[in-house]
Structure formats: structure tokens, C-alpha cells
Structure 1
């Protein structure tokens, strides 16, 4: 095990050395910078190249695609953790499950959810991305789109009854969103899940349609507007973190 750990440490030092040279560097220079004997450096460089972490071009070594994916994955995880931490904070502030979602590449995407055992999030019993007309998250996102983009969405995900309270057709849905004031919250009662009420607020993250939402059991529906107003008053402090999610 110590030998294996030592090999990993040496390989990581080589990767760091390669990463410090945008145009690449030869084996001898990399061995010197990593503090490794040249034969050891050659062996590790060949292994890292074989695995795709490095490429050899014109006698120098540069980072390969696998290294890029590794770095990107770490950054992605860091961003996602930041978002979830922020959502957890606001979950505690408003006392309800908090959701963050975006409309990306023609689809509704729930980026993060934060809830507690005592106040669980709504179960995704019908696919969120295909039922945007039924839940507050989707209604809020679709309301921010132009008619052409919205039509493209409904061509792929037609309006269907999810519960007895769901909007029945696209024309009715369009009438509903036209009646909304700009940047006003959207509320729905039992349209996606029986026994649940939800609200969502539109937020601006670059040029991407985004929303934050909350859900409550039907027996607490009198709290809905208070909770969403509390979320609106707090959300400004969260936007810098949420903007990271667009690239996740």
C-alpha cells in the first residue's frame, strides 16, 4: 500500500508539473520540477499517456482529455455543493423545501433540492421535465420563454391531466401565464401532486430562465404566500452562487 500511495503522489506531481506549462514540457524538465528520477518520470509519463491523462506532442507532454474531465468533474462537484449549501440555508430560513431549476437546452432541469425529513420535497412521481404545465417550477420557467420556444416545448411535452386540478389544455395555460405580472410568483394547488401546494419565483441568471420554488402540504396552504414572499426577500444574496449552476 505505501508503494501504491507513493506512485499516486508521484503521478500527481507530474500532472501538476505538466499543468503549469500551457505549451507542454519535455520529460527531463518535468522530472526535475516534480523531483523525480528520470527513469521513474519516464515510466509514469508513459502510463499517464496510455490512460489519456497526458498527450505527447512534438517531444513535449501536455494534459490529455482525461485530465480535463477530471478537473471539470471536480469543479462541477464544487459548484453543486455550493448550490446545495445555499439552498439548505434558505430552506431553514423559510421553513419549507426549496428547489432551484433552469430551462436549459429545451428542457426543464431541477438543479438542486433541499428538504428535511420533517418537511420532505414533493416526490417526482411524474417526470418533472415532461409536466411543466402542471407544477409551479415548470409554469414559472415556461412563462419566461418566448412563444416559439414554449411551442417547441409543448410539441414534445403536450399538456395532459396529471391530477383532477391540472390545467386541461395549452390555450388555457397560455391564458394563465399572460395574466401574470412580470417577475411575479406562480402558485399552484394540487395540480402536480394531490395534497400539495407550490409556489415559484422567476429569477434572472444571465440569459437563462431560472426559478426558485417551495412546496407545502395542503393543510398549510395559508402559509404559501408568506413563505414565497420571505424567499423573494432573501433570494438576492443567493444569485451569485446560483449563477454557477448554469454551467453544471
Structure 2
């Protein structure tokens, strides 16, 4: 099997590059599009895709385009569960400090997927099921992740997913989103101002140097999650994000 110096097995690296390219363009791509985004010869791309399709990691659609395969779902679920497990002790620290629900989510195919949660003890609390997928533009974790991307990539994501508005306060235009992301980058955290659910406010922060884009959040009813709450929430989130980052680095 071909080797690529000290880096590893070349054929494996090329197959992973193909999967990453399919992911980066939204999960569906043609052979010519793959060829335009990589230095690999077209016969090599075709051979790698044939192998990936045969193993279930990619699939060919009726329109001859290629997409990610169902076998990746199980891998993603297990990986997400492991990441969520590593973060759960620090999400619990957030809840113990702020007494509101804490979540962690990762970027997956232009959406955020919640992979861990520690609920508040309040009877009236925010609840998002682990495994739930949501748009990036109308969630605190989503906007925290988008804040790490450049505006051109944000535009490409929105072109692929659209901008549904689940509440009257949701951002509905790309210009409004880019303005909001400029504020996210300046502050270092994002705020979901009842954009996903009326009556619920959320503060979120990116986990630095994570193996995949991820963010943590704390959320609750606007009656409790107010400006005074924000003064405590931001440093608490920053501390938890740093601890999660360090833990993931040690595990890697």
C-alpha cells in the first residue's frame, strides 16, 4: 500500500480528503466538482469513491452525484457520544454555578447537533434533546460556531440551508446574520435572543482548539436569564470551554 512519508497511508488520507470535501460542499457533489477542489487525478477519485460506496461510507444518487453514506452515521453517533461524555462534568459545573440548563453541540453537515446536556433543576427550563439538529443562524451554539468562519463560508452555508424563522425574533436575512456575527466575534460569545424559542434566552461560546467545531451554552427563561445573569454566565462559560478544550487535547 502506498505510503506518504511519515504522514501516514496515502490512500487513506486521500479517501478521508474525499469525505471531507463532500462534507464541506454540503453533503452532495459531482465527480467534476471533486476534481475541481483537489489535486487528485479523476481516475483516482473515481476509484476511491467506488471503494467508499462499496463500504457504505458514500453513496451514489440516481442523479449520478455522490453523497455521504449511512455508515458514517454510526461513527458520528459514537464520536459525538464520546465528546459529549468528556464535556458532561464541565456542563454540570455550569449548572451548579448558574442553575440553568447547559448544552454542547457540534457542527455536522451545515447544522448543529446537540451531543450533551445537563438540565437545570427548575421545573420551567429549556430542554433540547441530545441528538436534535438545528440551524446555525437561529441558535446560540450555531452562531458561536459561525463566528469562527469567514463571511464567504457563512454565505455558502446559508445558501445551502436557507434561513427559516421559527420565531418573529429569528434572523431572516444574510446581512442581519453577518452583522450579528461581527458582534459575536467582538464579544467572544453569542446570544440567542428568543430566536429559537420565544421566552428562552441563551448564551453560548466556542470551545477553542476542538477537534471539530463545537460550542457550549447555557439557557433558560428570559425572566431568569437577564443582564445580571449574563455577567455571571460569560466567565463561567469561558472557564468551562477552556477546561473542555484541555480535556479533549489530552484525550487526543
Q: TM-score range by the shorter chain?
A: 0.5 to 0.7
Greater C-alpha radius of gyration:
1
What are structure 1's unaligned runs of at least 5 residues? 1-68
SS state at 2:184 partner: coil
Confirm whether residue 237 of structure 1 aligns to residue 210 of structure 2: no
Match of 1:179 in 2: 183
Match of 1:107 in 2: 111
Match of 1:135 in 2: 139
Confirm whether residue 222 of structure 1 aligns to residue 227 of structure 2: yes
Query: Can you list the C-alpha shifts for 1:23-72, whole angstroms capped at 9, x where unaligned?
Result: xxxxxxxxxxxxxxxxxxxxxxxxxxxxxxxxxxxxxxxxxxxxxx9xxx
Query: Can you list the C-alpha shifts for 1:172-224, whole angstroms capped at 9, x where unaligned?
Result: 11122123344611112211111111111123134633211110211112343
Q: Contact between 1:143 and 1:177, CA under 8 Å: does it hold in 2?
A: yes
Query: Can you list the C-alpha shifts for 1:75-109, whole angstroms capped at 9, x where unaligned?
Result: 98665433223322332122211111222454322
Match of 1:3 in 2: none
SS state at 1:174 partner: helix
Q: Contact between 2:104 and 2:114, CA under 8 Å: does it hold in 1?
A: yes
SS state at 2:114 partner: strand
Q: State TM-score, norm by structure 2.
A: 0.57
Q: CA deviation at 1:120?
A: 6.2
Structure number with the higher helix fraction is 1
CA distance in structure 2 between the partners assigned to 1:233 and 1:144 by the alignment: 16
CA distance in structure 1 between the partners assigned to 2:113 and 2:124 by the alignment: 19
Q: State TM-score, norm by structure 1.
A: 0.58
Match of 1:209 in 2: 213
**Residues 129 and 91 of structure 1: CA distance in aligned 2, closer, same or farther (over 3 Å):** same
SS state at 1:160 partner: coil
RMSD across aligned positions (CA): 3.3
**Residues 242 and 207 of structure 1: CA distance in aligned 2, closer, same or farther (over 3 Å):** closer
Farther off after superposition, 87-96 or 226-235: 226-235
SS state at 2:162 partner: coil
SS state at 1:204 partner: coil
**Residues 163 and 242 of structure 1: CA distance in aligned 2, closer, same or farther (over 3 Å):** farther
Number of residues paired by the alignment? 174
What are structure 2's unaligned runs of at least 5 residues? 1-73
CA distance in structure 2 between the partners assigned to 1:100 and 1:243 by the alignment: 17
